Structure 1
Amino acid sequence: MSDIVVQRIVRPERAVSGPWLQVIASNLDYHRATFLWKCEGLSDAQLRLRPLRSSALTLLGLMRHLQGVERAWFQRTLAGTTPHFFPYRTSVTADGGEWYDESDATPAGDVYQDYLKACDESRQVFAKVTSDPARIVPNPEFGATDVRFVLEHVIEEYARHVGHADLLREAIDGATGE
């Protein structure tokens, strides 16, 4: 049996024109797949590696974080519901923030399945709550925002973390990509 966690990823085509929500949804799925592409072919141990001496960041930590991004922004902010977060172990960072504790023994395969589930939940929420992109939603981080801002912010999260994942992946095994 293979110890590879994320098997072959095929990134979807992006809509580059058309209705705004269709463009946003396709670009979000593209970024989700791009993140997984950076994790493709790696084992549990490789996903846990901290290859950058100046950072505790791992691909698995990013995967844990992105499931939280999905649930917090789609379920809590857009749908106004209480998300069910997997109880990953966290720790306080040097700047007083909170991050996923890399000593959490949850198998990478379980984290991956949880991440996929979070993305599926987000797609379901997206379909239900985006009929009015100008709708104002309460947002404790930024103040009152509209649905468009939230969707753009989730893409911003992915763009930032895909960049991190690209650096981590290259440091792990030399694999590079766009």
Structure 2
Amino acid sequence: MSDIVIEKIVRPERTLSGTWLEVIASNLDYHRAAFLWKCEGLTDAQLRRRAIPSSDLTLLSLMRHLQGVERYWLQHRLAGTTPQYFPYLTNADTDWFDESDPTPARTVYTDYLSACADSRSLFPPHDLTRIIPNPEFGPTDVHFILTHVIEEYARHLGHADLLRESLDGTTGE
């Protein structure tokens, strides 16, 4: 068995025209794959490696965070379900994932894929005009939540770019 956690990732083509939901769903899937592409070919140890010694930011912690984004924003807030969160350790001071969590990276990867599949199964939302209560931003609609999830991915893809380059010099779009 290979030590590599994530083998070859093929990023899907994006829908450039169509309904708003088709374009958003396509872009979300593209961003999901782009994140995994940044993790492709790495071992558990590499996914856990910190680029900055004082930071808990790693590719693995980003993967844990993004499964939470999927479950909180798309499954809980948007679809109104009660998602099943994996019991990762978190740092009480920062609410970020504790890197001493011993969960193998392969398990985190499987959990991330499961979170994405669960989110896809709830798509598309039926009522785009529905107002959704949100303790962080106040009342929001479906459009806001979907664009916010893309914003989360875009922000963390930037982090993933820097983390990957610091690991082995790999760069990409």
TM-score (norm 1): 0.94
1:64 maps to 64
2:165 to 157, 170, 174: 170
What CA distance in whole angstroms lies between the structure 2 residues aligned with 1:51 and 1:24? 32
Maintained 8 Å contact 2:56/2:98: no
- Choose which of 95, 98, 119 in structure 1 pairs with 2:95: 98
Task: Tell me the amino acid that sits aligned with residue 60 of structure 1.
Answer: L
Name the amino acid aligned to 1:111.
V
Partner in structure 2 of residue 27 of structure 1: 27
Q: Does 1:55 align with 2:52?
A: no
Conserved in 2, the CA contact under 8 Å of 1:47 and 1:59? yes
Residue deviations 1:78-134 (CA, integer Å, cap 9, x gap): 1112211000001124xxx3010000000000000000000000001123xx22222
Instruction: Indicate conservation of the 8 Å contact 2:64/2:112, yes or no.
Output: yes
Q: Which residue of 2 aligns with 1:17?
A: 17
Query: How far has the Cα of 1:53 moved from its partner?
Result: 3.4
Structure 2 distance, partners of 1:25, 1:18, is 11
Contact 1:15 1:27 in 2 (8 A): yes
Give the counterpart of 1:120 among 112, 117, 122.
117
Output the CA distance in 2 between the equivalents of 1:134 and 1:106.
Answer: 39
Corresponding position of 1:144: 139
Taking the aligned partners of 2:138 and 2:10, their CA distance within structure 1 comes to 37
> Within 1, Cα distance between the matches of 2:166 and 2:106?
22
Residue by residue, what CA displacement relative to the aligned partner does 1:29-85 show, whole Å, maximum 9, x if unpaired? 000000000000000000000022352200000000000000001111011122110
**1:16 Cα deviation (Å)?**
1.2
User: 1:168 is paired with a residue of what secondary structure?
Assistant: helix
When the two structures are aligned, how many residues end up with a matched partner?
Answer: 173
Over aligned residue pairs, what C-alpha RMSD do you find? 1.0
Query: TM-score, normalising length from structure 2?
Result: 0.97
Code of the residue aligned with 1:119 in structure 2: it is C
Find the residue that maps to 2:91 and give its secondary structure.
Answer: strand
Unaligned runs of 5+ in 1: none
Question: What is the match of residue 161 of structure 1?
Answer: 156
Unaligned runs of 5+ residues in structure 2 are none
Question: Match of 1:56, as an amino acid?
Answer: D
% of aligned pairs identical?
71
Is the partner of 2:102 in helix, strand or coil? coil
